[in-house]
Amino acid sequence: MKKTFETRKLYFGFPVFFLGYKDEVHGYNLTTSSSVYSLGSMLVMAMRTKGNAITQISKYGHFTVNVPTKELTTASEIAGFNSRQDKFALTGLTYELGETIDAPLVNECPVSIECQVVEMVACGALTNVIARVTRRVVDESLIDEEGAFKSQEFSPISYIGDGAARQYRYYNDEAIQMGSIIKELRRQDEGETSSSTDKV
């Protein structure tokens, strides 16, 4: 039986990422977040309106989303809890500039996405940033011989929890191909239909 759960927030599993941006004080900077999703060539992320990241992104109009793996959990904590400081210096992470936008791609992250701001929508203390994906880069070890992404070998950090406490969770080796379950169910259904027909 379900019950009303009173909490200020509930994270049911979101990817941790480094938000890279041009910074008028430090040149280039990054911060940690977990509020992002992407559909096709659109990407939406959100941050605190009064934070440095939104201030800088609203000024320059572009940013990067860089997805770390388990080995970068410590760096993600450092980048997330040191406001308005030079996070590249603090974490030891390195970067290259994007090809389509003027923002940093974190070298240590196997997946990075370059984004151009389309619209920024304030909602209370938060700002939602709607952006167009201009380029995606993936470490070559995650691309197979046919040029497809090796999804089963990529293990990002998940952010889960509520207003009382949050935690990081990591992927295991279990994976199921999307569409395989429905194909099997339809195959079984067709088999049952054929058996019924044979009995008539």
List, in order of start, the domains of the chain with CATH numbers: 10-195 (2.30.110.10)
pLDDT average per 10 residues of sequence, the chain (200 residues): 92 94 97 96 96 96 97 96 94 98 98 98 97 98 95 93 92 87 91 64
SS3 state at 29: strand
Question: b vs e for 112-139, b when ≥16 Cβ sit within 10 Å of the residue's Cβ?
Answer: bbbbbbeebeeeeeebebebebbeebbe
Contacting residues for 32 by C-beta, under 8 A, at least 6 apart: 16, 17, 18, 19, 76, 77, 79, 80
Q: Is the alpha carbon torsion for 58, 62, 67, 71 positive or negative?
A: negative
Residue 172 confidence (pLDDT):
84
Residue 197 confidence (pLDDT):
59
Q: Is the alpha carbon torsion for 182, 157, 153, 62 positive or negative?
A: positive
- pTM for the model stands at 0.89
Spatial distance between the Cα atoms of 169 and 34, rounded to a whole number of angstroms: 13
